[in-house]
A and B are shown apart, each in its own frame.
Chain A
Amino acid sequence: METACDEVRIATDDGSRGTRGTVIDPLREVIATTQVDRVIAVGPMPMMKAVAELTRPSHVPTVASLNPIMVDGTGMCGACRVHIDGQVRFACVDGPEFDAHSVDFDELAARLGMYASEERTALEQGRG
């Protein structure tokens, strides 16, 4: 990361590296103090949603790389469907990058939780 970036800021939950807390705090600071042309969010869904909410008021173009449950990953099953600006899109072939301000994150969160109990079963079997 450091070789590709002018500046790297790290946030960790326990403060063991960088600032303590989520990436939202350093991002808020950067946006408040610098002219930002684009924000790219890649990671857990709640983080991407929080980033989208943070940049929405200032209209900073923001891209989220979505991670819905996928089955084939080739556009044939629709498991990965998400609503983008009210339109159904398949993340695997139409994305996975979308305008974060247009994503229905609540729907995505519900769909991501669909197999929570099965995921636990698989994890207990050591195959998570």
Chain B
Amino acid sequence: MAERRPHRPLSDPRVAMPMRGPQDRVGDFDEVSLGLSLAAAQHEAERCRLCTRSPCVDGCPVGIDIPRFIAALMDGDLDRAHAVISERNALPAVCGRVCAMDEQCERLCILEKRHDSVAIGSLERFVGDWRRANPVEATAPSPNAATTAGRVAVVGSGPAGLTAAQDLAKMGYEVTVFEALHRPGGVLVYGIPRFRLPLDVIDEEIQNITRLGVQIRTNHVVGRTTSLDRLCSEFDAVFLATGAGLPIFLGIPGESLVGVYSGNEFLMRVNLMGAHRFPESDTPVRTGHRVVVVGGGDTSLDCARTALRLGADVSLLYRRSRELMPCRSEEIDHAIEEGVDLQCETTPVRIVGDGRVAAVECTRLGPGAPDASGRASPVPVPGSEFTIDCDTVIIAIGFGVNPTVSRSAPDLRVDERGVVWTDEHLATSKRGVFAGGDLATGGATVILAVAQGRRAAKSIDAYLSGRHHDLAVSAAPWLSTPTPPVGLI
């Protein structure tokens, strides 16, 4: 092994991620950030102090041993770097692109106080991409081993479901994933646009999982095509990971006019059905000349930047200040560079038009009394009303939990928002059924979904091996009680 190179001086600037220029990138759907070269990645790795306290690890929702992977990268041992990340994160090339590192690991980096933090996210992406370019043949466990360990159904193929499927397959379970859509990947495929997360990155992660013997059955809506009870009778355990994909509307007049989309509909048409290529693809999408997007999270920015790429002028309305936008700050910068007109402290009050959208009536907002989250709840500023003429309005203000599965299974306990109740092991109120990801957290992040998928796999293994071998009763307390745990809510 090559000798470890010395740390670089603290004052050395952080290596910037190479990006395509805004003019160039709005012309297509290709990826915006280009990734680091090996030399640049190692150069950046050498800024890391490899400190033993490693606060960055505390900032990582799955606790990747960041200094250890960076040390391996410094040593040029990329196999080891990848192995260290994979101990905790099944989707490094994905998370290296979409995690909000500036609020997680990088925020706690000791360099952050005086200098810029180490570019941990860019390094994770580098290692993930290196593995994509240098794949290893995954070895599927022998079919014999699989049948003895047990059969598990995973419902939903987003990051939570895929992670659980991968972990369970590695433990020797026979895993079948049921996915409602015609493509696996969840939000990674239908929500996050290709210019942030190219399809081949997701497809390769999925192939790694199917190579382990995991079956993915697409076009299967659990609760409709198959019932949860049926899955329970055919499988030894079920993991529900159906996400939080129920679009929320504002409830203002005009929301059903032709030309009003939910963020999900707009993104699905383009990302999943290739509407930007219509008429070569079967599904069209309409933007017209001017698009107004409402919202402030990742989805709203993805809609705004997608609409720009379809050739429209785009205004984005957010009801609070820019600092409070619940999304990756990098994406706001990217959107503004590309030409999105960001209007903060603004909300639509009515969409007008004769059958079809013609304009949005808006009002400016000022701070009002604090709400439940402690933030000032925005209130209209009298006399500040104005109108934006537009052809399309996209509502991307958040998601609820899709009720399809829980409606078909009355014994599955949910709260008033439809969030499925789970205990600390992610067991639901229905025996043998576990749940995690956005479905149980009510809309979070990719990395938290990965963490939940991993935790669910451990719990399912404890549950099933306990049944077979009387093991893990302490890890799975519901085994010792005839009735499953029931929460308050």
A binds B: yes
Binding site for B on A (CB under 8 A): 71-79, 81, 83, 88, 93, 107, 110-111, 113-115, 118, 121-122, 125, 127
Chain A residues within 8 Å of B3, by CB? none
- Where chain A touches its partner, the secondary structure class is loop
| Chain B, Cβ-Cβ closest to A121 | B279
Compute how far the CA of A72 lies from the CA of B181 in the bound complex, rounded to whole angstroms.
7
Chain A residues within 8 Å of B148, by CB? none
Chain A residues within 8 Å of B259, by CB? 114
Contact of A77 among B247, B255, B279, B403 (CB under 8 A): B247
Contact of A113 among B258, B269, B272, B282 (CB under 8 A): B258
Q: List CB contacts (< 8 Å) of B366-417 with chain A.
A: 402-404
Chain B residues within 8 Å of A71, by CB? 265, 268-269, 273, 283
B459 within 8 A of A: no
In angstroms, how far is the closest chain A Cβ from the Cβ of B220? 10
Chain A residues within 8 Å of B273, by CB? 71
B404 near A78: Cβ-Cβ < 8 Å: no
In angstroms, how far is the closest chain B Cβ from the Cβ of A92? 9
Chain B residues within 8 Å of A127, by CB? 282
B256 near A74: Cβ-Cβ < 8 Å: no
Compute how far the CA of A59 lies from the CA of B261 in the bound complex, rounded to whole angstroms.
35
A115 near B284: Cβ-Cβ < 8 Å: yes
Q: Can you list 13 A-B pairs, Cβ within 8 angstroms, ordered by A?
A: A71-B273, A72-B190, A72-B268, A74-B221, A75-B245, A75-B402, A76-B247, A76-B264, A78-B262, A88-B256, A111-B256, A114-B258, A115-B286
- Where chain B touches its partner, the secondary structure class is loop
Residue interface mask B267-297, A partner, CB < 8 A = 1: 0110011000011001110100000000000
| Residue among A76, A77, A113, A121 having the largest count of chain B Cβ atoms under 10 Å | A76
Chain B residues within 8 Å of A77, by CB? 247, 262, 264-265, 268
B268 near A75: Cβ-Cβ < 8 Å: no
B478 within 8 A of A: no
Compute how far the CA of A114 lies from the CA of B283 in the bound complex, rounded to whole angstroms.
12
B180 near A74: Cβ-Cβ < 8 Å: yes
| Chain B, Cβ-Cβ closest to A74 | B180
B355 within 8 A of A: yes
Asked whether A118 and B268 contact (CB < 8 A) given A75-B404, A77-B247, A93-B404, the answer is no
B246 within 8 A of A: yes
| Chain B, Cβ-Cβ closest to A93 | B404
A118 near B262: Cβ-Cβ < 8 Å: no
Given contacts A76-B247, A77-B265, A88-B255, 19 further A-B contacts (CB under 8 A): A71-B265, A71-B283, A72-B272, A74-B181, A74-B404, A75-B403, A75-B404, A76-B245, A76-B246, A78-B247, A78-B262, A78-B265, A81-B256, A83-B256, A93-B224, A107-B256, A111-B258, A118-B278, A127-B282
B265 near A74: Cβ-Cβ < 8 Å: no
Q: List CB contacts (< 8 Å) of B165-194 with chain A.
A: 180-181, 190
Chain A residues within 8 Å of B224, by CB? 74, 93
Chain B residues within 8 Å of A78, by CB? 247, 249, 262, 264-265
Residue interface mask B285-323, A partner, CB < 8 A = 1: 010000000000000000000000000000000000000
A88 near B249: Cβ-Cβ < 8 Å: yes
Compute how far the CA of A72 lies from the CA of B183 in the bound complex, rounded to whole angstroms.
11
Compute how far the CA of A77 lies from the CA of B402 in the bound complex, rounded to whole angstroms.
11
In angstroms, how far is the closest chain A Cβ from the Cβ of B300? 15
In angstroms, how far is the closest chain A Cβ from the Cβ of B1? 49
Compute how far the CA of A71 lies from the CA of B483 in the bound complex, rounded to whole angstroms.
40
Compute how far the CA of A79 lies from the CA of B269 in the bound complex, rounded to whole angstroms.
10
In angstroms, how far is the closest chain A Cβ from the Cβ of B306? 15
In angstroms, how far is the closest chain A Cβ from the Cβ of B153? 17
Compute how far the CA of A78 lies from the CA of B181 in the bound complex, rounded to whole angstroms.
15
| Chain B, Cβ-Cβ closest to A83 | B256
Q: List CB contacts (< 8 Å) of B222-241 with chain A.
A: 224
Asked whether A118 and B402 contact (CB < 8 A) given A72-B268, A77-B247, the answer is no
Compute how far the CA of A93 lies from the CA of B247 in the bound complex, rounded to whole angstroms.
13
Chain B residues within 8 Å of A93, by CB? 224, 403-404
| Chain B, Cβ-Cβ closest to A79 | B265
| Chain A, Cβ-Cβ closest to B221 | A74
Chain A residues within 8 Å of B180, by CB? 72, 74, 76
Chain A residues within 8 Å of B257, by CB? 110
Contact of B402 among A74, A79, A88, A121 (CB under 8 A): A74
Contact of B258 among A72, A73, A110 (CB under 8 A): A110
